[in-house]
Amino acid sequence: MFCFYIFVIVLMSISRRFGLLFVLLSGALLASCGTSVDTSSLAQCVTEKGWVMYGVNTCPHCMEQKKVLGSSFDLVEYVECSENPQICDVADIKGYPTWVNKQT
């Protein structure tokens, strides 16, 4: 299972903004099928690879991604755009959630 996530992390480096959505949706699908997902390792790996989530607390898609990661979401670098609009403007965030790899 962990190898699957490593493979997807590599794919994310190709798709700068949308690859992580695939990872989170895959995790949600696997969890709904009864397959155990190590969200803590996933969240830590995503952060170590330089991914940052930009969102707002009223966004249903943001809430769903936070729900998929559960308490492991605390390990994710997150920018709340309603509280930090200048940071989101500089990062050219147009919609939520947006995942950006700051290492690319």
Residues spanned by the domain of 86: 2-101
Total domain count for the chain?
Answer: 1
pLDDT in tens, 31-89: 544 455 688 888 888 888 899 999 999 999 999 889 888 999 999 999 999 999 999 99
Band of residue 10 on the pLDDT scale cut at 50, 70, 90: very low
Contact 7, 96 (CB under 8 A): no
Residues comprising the chain, all counted: 104
- The 3-state DSSP class for residue 80 equals strand
Sequence-separated (6 or more) residues with CB below 8 Å from residue 96: 54, 55, 56, 59, 61, 62, 81
* pTM, rounded to two decimals: 0.69
The enclosing domain of 67 has a CATH number of 3.40.30.10
Question: Residue 69: is it exposed, middle or buried by C-beta count within 10 angstroms (0-12/13-18/19+)?
Answer: buried
